Every structure is written in C-alpha cells, then in structure tokens.
Amino acid sequence: MMMGWADVSFHGSPQIPTPNLDALAADGVVLNNYYVHPACTASRGAFMTGLYSIRYGLQNTPIQPGQPYGLDLKYTLLPQHLKRLGYETHLIGKWHLGSYRYEYTPTRRGFDSFYGFYYGHEDYYTHMLHHTQDGKQVSGLDLWNGTDPAHDAMGVYGTELFTNKAVRLIENLDKSKFLYLSHQAPHSGNYDEPLQAQKNNMDKFPYIGENNRTIYAGMVDSLDESVGSVVRALGEAGMLQDSVIVFSADNGGVPWGYMASRGINWPLRGAKSSPWEGASRAAAFVWSPLLDKSRRVSDQLMHITDWLPTFYALAGGSTSDLEPLDGHDMWATLSRDEPSQRFNIVYNIDPLWDYAAIRSNNFKIVVGSHAGGRFDQRFPIPGGQRPSQTDLDGLMEEVSPRSQLTNVFLFDLDKDPCECNNLASTHKQVLDSMNSVLEEYRAQTVPPIKPAVDPASFPENHDGTWAPWVD
C-alpha cells in the first residue's frame, strides 16, 4: 500500500494513532532502514522475484489499465517457491503485476487462491476502476475471485471486504500457509474520488481540520483495525505462536498531484516515484514469537527483495537452491541482530524518467530528478495535531541546513537521513566511487516496458469488467 513515513504512530506521528500496528511494532522489530522501490508495480515485482525491478523492465510507471504486459513469466515467484515446500499460498487484495493474459494472473503464478483486484486502484465501495483514455472515461469492475468476476461485494468498503476474507481464510486453514494480504488502503481510489473512508473512522480525527488529510487518516485507521482483526483471528485459530507477521508499505506517500492520497513522508524528502528517501524508505516491521531478540529498532540495511530468500529459508528451503538474486536471507539479522549482509541498494534507474539513485553503505548518490523536480522538497504534515504534541517538526525545520539544488547529489544518510546537505562538491573521491557502482548497475538495467493501451481491453468488450483479453 502507498503509505507515508509520517502516517504511522510507531514513527511518532503526531496525527494518526495506529495502536494495532504499534503493539506489533513495539513487541517485534521495527525496520528503520528498510527500503522498497519508489512505485507499486516495481516493489511488488521485487517482493515476488527477489530481484530489482531494473532487471525486468518494471521500473517506470506502474502498469496502467489496458497495457498488455506484466512481470515476465520466466521468473519463479515467491508463492511458487513456497508451494514446492508444501505451503498453501493465498493472495487477498491488490496484484498489479499484469493481467492481460490469464497466464499472468495470481492463480496461474503460484497462488492457490486469489480474491482482489488486478490493477493499481479502484473505488473502495463499487470496486469499479475508472480510466481515462484519449479524453474518454472507461469504467469497469476490477474485483475477482480467482479468475471469476466478483459481483457480490457492491457497497462493501474495500478494507473491510479484504479483512473479512482474510479472517475467514485463517479460520479454515489447516496446514502451513503463506497469506499475502495486500490491502488497498490507504492508496487513493479513482481520480474523481481519490480519498474514501468510512465515517466512523474519520470521526476519530476532528483535530486535523484539513479535509483530505482527515479522510486519509480514516483510511489509515481502517487499515490499523484490519491488522488487529487478522491478529485476533490468528490467535483464535491457534496459529499466532508459529506466525511471522511482516508489515510493509510498497512506496511512500503522495501529498498532492495525480493520484494523491495525502500521505506524508515528513521529515523525509520527496514522494512516490521520486529518487528521494520519502519514496523508498518504507514503514515496516516484523513480529513473531520466533524472533530471538525482539522489542527493538533495527537500523540495519534491508530491502524488499530480501523477503523471498528469507521466507524461503524460514519455510525449510535452502537458499543455495535458488537462482541468483538481489535479495539476501535476512533472518539472522531480523531475529538475532547479526550484521546485515546487505551493503548496496538500488532505488531506481530509469532512462525514461531520466534519473538514477543507489545507496552503498551509508552514502547515497542521486543523478537527475522526477516530474521536473516537483517532488524534490520535504512536505510538512498538513492540519492540526493531537493535543499535547510538542512542535518538534517546527524545530527541525528551523535547524535543518539547505543545499542548492543541482543535478548530482551525494548524501551521508547516517548523518543526514533527510537529504539536506549535498556533499557532491566536497567529497569527490566518494562521489567517483559511487558513480562507478552506479555505472555497474546501469549496465545491468533493461529498458522499461511501456506499451500503448489496447482498446480491446476495455470493459465494454468484457461484460463490464477489466478481464484478461489476449489469448
């Protein structure tokens, strides 16, 4: 889900309490140096393959309705690996890795069951996806039970719908299982009504004042309630003691603009799709009774590609049986706080958006920007705060140094996680070294896949649904 760094109270958010998330985070391991890709399709591909999105062309704009492509079928995905180890595999919620042919849909790619939507967003109540093509609005249902359209959920709020499906699934499982609950919330809905929350959730936030942020807070609150419901279901089913629960955003928030959700990444710089920390440094934690050292914050480096080998090893597999990956088995780091095996991270390398960003140890290089630099700054939290919150954000804003914007940036993230002080002009040797690493990754980058929308995909040709359309 698209969620900002400042949208959870286990990060000290002064606005949006997330008590269920906080309880798990406080009793588990908060991942304070954990990264995803800057957009949803890219992150989901990385999670499913253990590989950076630059290797399979999904690093640009997320898959749009009617575009005939997806995550290449040559890759073995996480659920396929786990099924070979005897696990049941289930996906509830968002897929967004391609559905133009049935071979690309979840139940053909390793999931025993799927209930959710193929594309990136939809209405929270009608589950209709609106898309504008050449000035014309095209609309259709994007909600599926396996590969069958699900017409029976009209009027049921998306977060509630997917939570109920997850709870019922947990109640009826009797063997080892992998449940990927990929919530819609708090991602924006359709462009004509991007923010949708239930009144009982919004009513908890009278102090915010700013309308869109209040609705967004309600969306986050419903997500937090969902986590509580799922944990209770696991406990009642006697599964909690053997569970590993991972919470992860798939990219940072979007404070304004197209598909804005009013998610805020403060004090981190930037927003979704940009090369800055606010796009890729994600809210995340892991909770499990299997952790040897819990109730702590980990500052060790980790990336979303690491989950595949980590889960595979936890499930009893040997990572030596896997193809070469960008991900590492991080269980020793997560469980026992052993040193991370990860030293480099590719945020993104995109020749179409004309920017690149990588991290090596504590240093980060950024070349270029995104959207004409409109998301280069840090966006403060809008609206009011909960009572009795000291204005620490204001103090930080006053003391933060500023650097003139250029085309090449170098940051020491250990000392400057908010990317305020550009070291490119004073640390030439480090810059040269980082450029060399970046060029190595550029040489491994494939061009982004970006086909034109195919009108044959439009719902008018498929009984009002966004169904697979290519044989």
What per-residue confidence (pLDDT) applies to 27? 99
Tokens linked to 431: 């810059």
The residue annotated as part of the active site, out of 37, 40, 90, 131, is 40
Which residues fall within 8 angstroms of residue 176, CB to CB, at 6 or more apart?
86, 87, 88, 315
Higher pLDDT, 24 or 191: 24
- Residue 397's pLDDT band (boundaries 50, 70, 90)? very low
CA 100, CA 466: separation in Å to the nearest integer? 9
CA 24, CA 61: separation in Å to the nearest integer? 33
- Residue 471's pLDDT band (boundaries 50, 70, 90)? confident
Contact 91, 116 (CB under 8 A): yes
Given a cut of 60, whether residue 157 has pLDDT beyond it is yes
CB atoms within 10 A of CB 101: 16
- Please state the domain extents for the chain: 5-352+447-461
DSSP 3-state of 294: coil
CA 80, CA 85: separation in Å to the nearest integer? 9
462 is catalytic: no
CA 379, CA 366: separation in Å to the nearest integer? 19
Tokens linked to 214: 């209040």
Q: At what angle do helices 211-236 and 158-171 cross, to 10 degrees?
A: 10
The residue annotated as part of the active site, out of 37, 81, 96, 127, is 96
Instruction: Please give the mean pLDDT across all residues of the chain.
Output: 93
What per-residue confidence (pLDDT) applies to 391? 44
What per-residue confidence (pLDDT) applies to 425? 96
Convert the pLDDT of each residue in 165-188 to its tens digit: 999 999 998 778 999 999 999 999
Contact 343, 336 (CB under 8 A): no
- DSSP output for 354-382: TEEEEEETTEEEEEE-SGGGTT-SPPPPP
DSSP one-letter code for 44? H
Picking from 187, 192, 170, the residue whose alpha carbon sits closest to that of residue 243 is 170
Find the radius of gyration of the CA atoms of the chain. 21
CA 165, CA 267: separation in Å to the nearest integer? 36
What per-residue confidence (pLDDT) applies to 399? 41
37 is catalytic: no
CA 86 to chain centre: 27
Phi, psi of 143 (to 5 degrees): -145, 130
Is the overall model pTM greater than 0.85, yes or no?
A: yes
Angstrom CA distances, 345 to 24, 54, 56, 189, stand at 27, 12, 17, 30
Contact 411, 421 (CB under 8 A): yes
Kindly state the average pLDDT of the residues 116-144.
Answer: 97
Convert the pLDDT of each residue in 243-290 to its tens digit: 999 999 999 998 876 666 789 999 999 989 999 999 999 999 999 999
Which amino acid is it at 334?
Answer: L
| Second CATH level (architecture) for the domain 5-352+447-461 | 3-Layer(aba) Sandwich (3.40)
CB atoms within 10 A of CB 421: 16
Convert the pLDDT of each residue in 301-357 to its tens digit: 999 999 999 999 999 999 999 999 999 999 999 999 999 999 999 999 999 999 999
Phi, psi of 381 (to 5 degrees): -70, 125
Given a cut of 90, whether residue 411 has pLDDT beyond it is yes
- Residue 56's pLDDT band (boundaries 50, 70, 90)? very high
Kindly state the average pLDDT of the residues 363-390.
Answer: 73
CA 247, CA 252: separation in Å to the nearest integer? 14
Which residues fall within 8 angstroms of residue 245, CB to CB, at 6 or more apart?
24, 28, 231, 234, 286, 287, 288
